[in-house]
Amino acid sequence: MPQTAALDGLNDQQLAAVSCPVGTTLVLAGPGSGKTRVLTQRIACLIEREGAAPRSILAVTFTNKAAREMRSRLDRLLGTAAADVTLGTFHSVCTRILRREAPSFGLDRSFTIYDRDDQMALIKRVLKTLNVDDKQYRPSSVLAEISRAKSDMIGPHEYRPPSYWHEVVGRAYEAYQAALTANNALDFDDLLLVTVRGLEAHPEVLDRYRQRYRHVLVDEFQDTNLPQYRLVRLLCDDSTDLFLVGDEDQSIYGWRGADYRNLGRVREDYPGVRTLLLERNYRSSQTILDAAKAVIARNAQRVHKDLQADKGVGEPIVVYRASGPDEEADAVVAEIERLVSSDGFGLGDFAVMYRMNSQSRALEEAFMRRHIPYRLLGGTRFYQRREIKDILSYLRLISTRNEWVAFDRVINVPPRGLGDVSLGHLRNMADRDGLGPYDALRRLRDDEQAASTLTGRARRALLDFLETWEELVDSSEKMSVAELIDAILGEWGYGIFILSSGPEAEDRMANVQELRGAVAELQPGRDQLATFLDEVALVADVDELQEAVDAPVLLTLHTAKGLEFPVVFIVGMQEGVLPHSRALEEPDELEEERRLCYVGMTRAMKRLYLLHAATSRMYGQSDLALPSRFLKEIPIEVIASGPGAAADSSTPPRSGRRVMVRPSTTPSLAPAGAAEAVREPAEVATYSVGESVSHSKFGRGTVIKYETTADDAEVTVAFEGKGIKRLLVSLARLTRV
């Protein structure tokens, strides 16, 4: 093999990183900058130019996909020598160590690794043993909390629950860990935790690994959690050649334990660390990079990187304002159809990204209305989500009354203390007399003999359910579907049930409120309810569409990490969505939201569309929404003009002001050839705190906050009986009273 093979095809910055002297090196690699090439050719360089033994090299990645890609490249570069390089994920590397060192660490070498299904089965058994209702304490939520504790290196005996929900989790954690031990098993978090603690407790074992691995390379270092960082620190003494690749701008997994500040800790723990940059981008156009750079530049805790595109300037970015999420979705689908028919794109070239899973509802329905196949990546289709199926089952009971499938699904959701025996007696009576569930419960109420097979507790629970059921059936002619959903949440107790479901509560309630928002315009009446349920049944049956390979991808921004697409749409770019409402008052969380936006934008190769809606349905109501602050940070020069796009750049904005144009009746994202004239925003009214105002929908209220924005003003009003609302003054049409 030629001695120059390891250095072939590199730009100047890549060459500097690949050929740098041994020592501690931190490479800050911007998106699309070729970090995988740098890592693999660094390994080749160590072997070819530095004379490193392949078995002395340890390379750690975060995903099996990345490990396979690196292994394939190393095989091409090094031939048979590549086989002696230790390469794998953190978990696979730890597994090798644990298998080898099991006796020293007090383990049986034949231990089993429990995958996700195994963990779920075990935690369900644990919860059952503890008499914990797995509908109220969902096994997935309990497992997630246990995983978070392990990521913070908190064992079951050190776990300090801040609430009753966490107290139950703490008991489950202790029993779960005991069950793992009894089964000679480790879960994925244990692979890291047990390895770190074993190496810390046995210096002689640790020294062997330090002597073997003289060169350690780690990919995506910004995504390391505490055990992973501790493992790297343990394996690398002062003489180890440590090569770290990461980018604090792409750290978006703080919610699952990743800590981008580990990049800063490297500088503290290794004072002589060498820092290099990779700024040449091989994925996106310069226009896309300029927009993304302007957004991420507002973060304080970062190292500046001046990304430069290898592919030229490219097309301008389109910023589109829709009236609401449904029009937003229609505009996306229409633009995909246009680009496929006129610009030569294939259906598989598109990705539509969003902040929260609940936002997929409008998009899924828009694709299905136009009979365009799509793929939902990393999530469950909206109408297949557990809470949505529960609400729809309740609605079917109100509409049809005698449907056993719907009844069986929700009779114990939320838990009503009904066991299989009691429900079995009810079903036997119903089957004997040919009754549906509604009539069976009425028989139970009116016939003492029928009720005699049940305990008093079970009968009371069933009759309480029936009482609410009858009230809603009787009222359904006068109630809208949205009001019925409110009644399910309140009178049937489903809302409290969701809100007590642990870490998933917010997302689950967001899904329910998205459903409520989708039916907000339906008029009262049983016919409206029946029609809606029929439409949902048809919409939900899309398995054949989802199987298509060559199809647009729908995915969350978190799922988009590591992917790239010719055309990217990011929807829901309004305050409270992106950035998320919980981040607005927390500087660290706001910075992570900005990084999330940056990651989404830099997935785009050729074209980028950023969409926001004038109204938001985050909390079940169509409240007026402000454009995301991230949109306002994008330079006006890189934004297209045209119907639905940002304002024409031919009219210079004042003070960086950018004007969003309302969409036409027919959604269109295509920039117009002749730019529309930019109109200066009309003067907006001013209000004083404490002033009384009236709104056409919310009624009378009191101003509690007023502040100007770049091209409008925002007023916060406490409405009598309607709560606190944030409104755009230009759209609110408030009157003084």
> How far apart are the C-alpha atoms of 320 and 327, rounded to whole Å?
11
The residue with tokens 């497992």 is 143
> How far apart (Å, rounded) are the C-alpha atoms in residues 680 and 658?
10
Q: Which of 516, 561, 603, 658 is catalytic?
A: 603
Pairing of strands 713-719, 699-708: antiparallel
User: By the 8 A CB rule, do 348 and 565 touch?
Assistant: no
Annotation says 606 is catalytic: no
Query: Rounded distance, CA 567 to CA 608, Å?
Result: 6
Q: Is position 35 annotated as part of the catalytic site?
A: yes
Q: For residue 654, count CB atoms less than 10 angstroms from its CB and return exposed for 0-12, middle for 13-18, buried for 19 or more.
A: exposed
Nearest-CA neighbor of 350 among 363, 365, 361, 339? 339
Closest CA to 363 of 554, 609, 556: 554
Cis-peptide, bond into residue 271, ω within 30° of zero? no
Beta strand segments in 21-100, E: 24-29, 57-61, 86-89
Reply yes or no on whether 574 is catalytic.
no
- Which of 13, 25, 35, 240 is the catalytic position? 35
Taking the C-alpha atoms of 80, 82, 86 and 92 in order, what is their torsion angle to the nearest 10 degrees?
-90
Question: Of the listed 48, 145, 190, 220, which one is catalytic?
Answer: 220
Is position 720 annotated as part of the catalytic site? no
CB-based contacts of 691, cutoff 8 Å, min separation 6: 702, 703, 736
Edge-first strand listing for the sheet containing 241-246: 86-89, 57-61, 215-218, 241-246, 24-29, 274-278
**One-letter-per-residue 3-state SS of 139-203:** HHHHHHHHHHHHHCCCCCCCCCCCCHHHHHHHHHHHHHHHHHHHCCEECHHHHHHHHHHHHHHCH
In the set 36, 468, 709, 716, the catalytic residue is: 36
| Paired sense of beta strands 699-708 and 692-695, if any | antiparallel
Task: Give Dmax (Cα) for the chain.
Answer: 93
Pick the catalytic residue from 24, 177, 240, 250.
250
**Would you say the C-alpha torsion 439, 442, 447, 451 has a positive or negative sign?**
positive
Catalytic residue selected from 219, 364, 514, 714: 219
Q: Is 36 a catalytic residue?
A: yes
Residues annotated as part of the active site: 35-36, 219-220, 250, 603
